[in-house]
Amino acid sequence: MDNARIDDVLKKIERTRQARRHKFYLRDEKISLSHGSGGKATHNLIEGVFAPAFSNPLLDPMDDAATFSINGTGQRLAFTTDTYVVSPLFFPGGDIGKLAVHGTINDLAMAGAEPLYLSAGFILEEGFPISDLRRIVASMAQAASEAGVAIVTGDTKVVQRGKADGLFVNTTGVGIVRATWQLGQTQLQPGDKVLLSGPVGDHGIAIMLAREALEIETDIESDTAPLHTLVAALLSAAGEGIHCLKDPTRGGVATTLNEMALGSEVSIALEERAIPVHDGVRGACEILGLDPLTIANEGKLLAIVSPAMAGTALATMRAHPLGSEATIIGSVQAEPPGLVFLHTDIGGMRVLDMLVGDPLPRIC
Amino acid sequence: MDNARIDDVLKKIERTRQARRHKFYLRDEKISLSHGSGGKATHNLIEGVFAPAFSNPLLDPMDDAATFSINGTGQRLAFTTDTYVVSPLFFPGGDIGKLAVHGTINDLAMAGAEPLYLSAGFILEEGFPISDLRRIVASMAQAASEAGVAIVTGDTKVVQRGKADGLFVNTTGVGIVRATWQLGQTQLQPGDKVLLSGPVGDHGIAIMLAREALEIETDIESDTAPLHTLVAALLSAAGEGIHCLKDPTRGGVATTLNEMALGSEVSIALEERAIPVHDGVRGACEILGLDPLTIANEGKLLAIVSPAMAGTALATMRAHPLGSEATIIGSVQAEPPGLVFLHTDIGGMRVLDMLVGDPLPRIC
């Protein structure tokens, strides 16, 4: 880029930073689908309603899992919750049950925890076929068993026909934190490398294509997978070199990295060409006008790693079946704080914002 | 009763026992509202679908909370989940948020645990007023603060208009088990006394009257309340004399005591005249053809206590603001196992079954 274009970009960045000061102001009077996107509107809602009301030292870091010590034991536990409303309930590569087990395992894993126990809370709509419920429950049981966790407590509620959409499920999880250091979105350091465990966008596009009667032929399946063994390998190999782990679900890589940049008051610079995207996802995104970086993933993680340990972490990821296509996609810088930008394939540079609006409601 | 009538009752009991062997057989092909009642159909669903699929030693006792040790720490944790779909969201005496906090605190307390941390997972319907959300969140925050627990992690999902009913919320809780002995519905012993902390049916009737445009004038309010300090006092005063604690929510006292009778293979005999019922609840039940013993409570507990400690436990309950109207309502017997029966006010005796059907859907 020539100097004039760089100046333009920097001016835009400054304008964006100004705008961000008011970013999480909740102006809306009613809930809209975008409040469930995981992107900017979700943050507005969280910062405008939940965070001030519930504020406490364990909640305030706004990581996906809370961690706390059990008095006098020297053990730290991680605790996380997620409700699943994905539509359709069955999709290529999985179903709502498998997704609910994997998603909560992954939120525990991203806190550096070994997942132990899950709860399952169901909302069923009157008229829902019990055969479908059996399939979903069997899928949850299998996913839990394969991951070595147990579903130990549950609850079932039923609402009248038309007051839900078949089945919703909440899974909440408890695990033991194995990382002895602080992990999380406030821990990024300038110089850190950004590692991505594999191609992005599979889950979101698989759901969208399963839902809409779109004439796009692909073999894209959801990437839903439990990432705890990949995390265990990373923590073991790279230790305190691992500063933050996060699975880019709702809102995709773009939103997740923006949360980190804001949480640590750093900048993240990405190389677009380094980010793997399956051809089918890229094609579908082009047709639909979507950015693969804002599309949800359910079996991928971002690891922010010290420069000294980045090579070790990358090799460890590539040696694991769920990280065989891992790459380094960017790095952390001190300035400008709170921003993510992308060096594009065509030699340009653009600010990569959180997901705005919601192209894909009910993705998880 | 004369001998012929006693013989009749015993024959009926034997028939009921035979019937119970097939009691939890799930014949239905579709979910109906009765599967959410907390009564017999809920048990059919749990025993027919969830219990066999998820079976593990922590789940199988089917208590409201699972308890487990954290390896090597000597501490036992309790873990419990509940989803709330009550309609209407605001009702005399409370709202869905307060109910969700109290309900999960109570499930932890009934496991002999000190509640510590809660998660909150929301499902919001597109178009839901943010002012209502703020009221509910503020109510949750206040209820948590008053009870000394923190909401430490959360999740929000949004579904399209017509795919939910305003707001649903799941609260899952973690606590430290203070009871060093085994508490639960498998621990009843013949001779134990059945203590009830106060009048029954307030919550269910308050919800029903708030929902329906019934021309019944009462001042009945939900009894929603956090019972953990009452439990702490009981455990401290009566120690291992406390064999089982349970809050009779969905399905009421009748269903809860049936679960205990089945869980411990004992019989429970109740004195109808000993069971306190507010006049307004009794009147509404008479008009509506409901049994107060099957109506949900949200601030009452049943304690099964050894005969030696029953007096101490009763005095302790009566000294607590939430147990001032506590009474002994019956006792545990060896025979006939799995049955609850009621000595009625008019000198008769009847088998008291679990709630069948669902007179009051979406009560919590």
Calpha distance B248→B364 (Å, rounded): 12
CATH no., domain B193-351? 3.90.650.10
Cβ B53–A141 below 8 Å, yes or no? yes
pLDDT digits (tens, 9 = 90+) for A211-236: 876 667 778 999 999 999 999 999 99
Within 8 A by CB and 6+ apart from A173, the residues are A65, A78, A79, A80, A81, A104, A105, A107, A108, A115, A116, A117, A118, A119, A149
User: Nearest 5°: phi and psi at B39?
Assistant: -95, -145
What is the distance in angstroms between the Cα of A31 and the nearest Cα belonging to chain B?
5
Per the listing, tokens 């394969």 go with: A146
Q: Are strands A267-271 and A340-343 parallel, antiparallel or unpaired?
A: parallel
Residue type, B48: G
Does residue A289 register a pLDDT over 50? yes
Closest residue by Cα to residue B290 from B351, B228, B204, B231: B204
Query: Would the pLDDT of A16 be above 50?
Result: no
> Are the Cβ atoms of B53 and A150 closer than 8 angstroms?
no
- Rounded CA-CA distance B69/B67 in Å is 7
Q: Where do you find CATH 3.30.1330.10 in chain A?
A: 75-178
User: Shortest Cα distance from B172 to chain A (angstroms)?
Assistant: 7
Residue B252 near residue B295, CB atoms below 8 Å: yes
Per-residue b or e along B105-122, where b marks 16 or more CB atoms closer than 10 Å to that residue's CB: bbbbbbbbbbbbbbbbbb
pTM over 0.90: yes
Task: Note the pLDDT of residue B4.
Answer: 65
Chain B positions touching A160 (Cβ under 8 A) are 33, 165, 361-362
User: Where are the domain boundaries for CATH 3.90.650.10 in chain B?
Assistant: 193-351
Q: What is the pLDDT of residue A345?
A: 86
Alpha helix stretches (DSSP H) within chain A: 3-20, 40-45, 51-54, 96-110, 130-147, 202-211, 228-238, 252-264, 279-288, 307-318
A63: CB partners within 8 A, 6+ apart:
A110, A111, A184, A185
Q: How far is A352 from chain B (nearest CA, A)?
A: 24
Span A83-116, pLDDT tens digits: 999 999 999 999 999 999 999 999 999 999 999 9
Task: Extract long-range pairs of A16-22: CB within 8 Å, 24+ residues apart.
Answer: A16/A339, A16/A351, A16/A353, A17/A336, A17/A338, A17/A339, A20/A262, A20/A338
Contacts of B42 in chain A (CB under 8 A): 156
The verdict on a CB contact (< 8 Å) between B117 and A170 is no
Average pLDDT over residues A296-300: 98
Considering chain A, what is the average pLDDT of its residues?
Answer: 92
CB contact under 8 A, B79 and A124: no
Q: Do B31 and A133 touch (CB under 8 A)?
A: yes
Which of the 8 DSSP states describes residue A129? B
CB environment A48-73: b (16+ within 10 A), e (fewer): bbbbebbeeebbeebbbbbbbebeee
What pLDDT score does B15 carry? 53
Q: What are phi and psi of B195, to 5 degrees?
A: -105, 140
φ and ψ at residue A57, rounded to 5 degrees: -60, -25
Contact call for B156 and A36, based on CB within 8 A: yes
* Residue A66 φ/ψ, nearest 5 degrees: -90, 145
Tens-digit pLDDT profile for residues A159-196: 999 999 999 999 999 999 999 999 999 999 999 999 99
Q: In Å, what is the CA distance from B82 to each residue of A122, A139, B129, B203? A: 9, 21, 24, 17
Smallest CA–CA distance, residue A33 to chain B, in Å, is: 6
Mean pLDDT, rounded, for A121-141: 98
Q: Which amino acid is at B109?
A: A
Name the minimum distance, in Å, from the CA of A202 to any CA of chain B: 21
CA distance B275 to B259: 19
Residues of B in contact with A25 (CB under 8 A): none
Give me the pLDDT at residue B323, please. 98
pLDDT above 70 for A3 = no
Detail the DSSP E strand segments found in B181-229: 193-196
For residue B124, give the H/E element and its range. Answer: strand B113-125
Q: Rounded mean pLDDT of A323-339?
A: 96
Determine, for residues B49 and A362 on separate chains, whether the beta-carbon distance falls below 8 Å: no
Interface test with B, best of A31, A98, A117, A249 (most B CBs within 10 A): A31
Does B59 contact A154 at a Cβ distance shorter than 8 Å?
A: yes
User: Rounded to whole angstroms, what are the CA distances from B85 to A45, B211, B364?
Assistant: 21, 13, 6
Per-residue model confidence (pLDDT) at position A1: 47
CATH topology of domain A75-178: 60s Ribosomal Protein L30; Chain: A; (3.30.1330)
User: pLDDT at position B345, please?
Assistant: 86
Q: Locate B13 and state its tokens.
A: 């009991």
Instruction: Please list the pLDDT of chain B residue by residue as tens digits (364 residues).
Output: 456 666 665 665 555 445 444 456 788 999 999 999 988 899 999 999 999 999 998 998 888 899 998 876 778 999 999 999 999 999 999 999 999 999 999 999 999 999 999 999 999 999 999 999 999 999 999 999 999 999 999 999 999 999 999 999 999 999 999 999 999 999 999 999 999 999 999 999 999 999 876 667 778 999 999 999 999 999 999 999 999 999 999 999 999 999 999 999 999 999 999 999 999 999 999 998 999 999 999 999 999 999 999 999 999 999 999 999 999 999 999 999 999 999 998 889 999 999 888 767 899 9
What is the pLDDT at residue A61? 80
Of B20, B2, B233, the closest CA to residue B112 belongs to B233
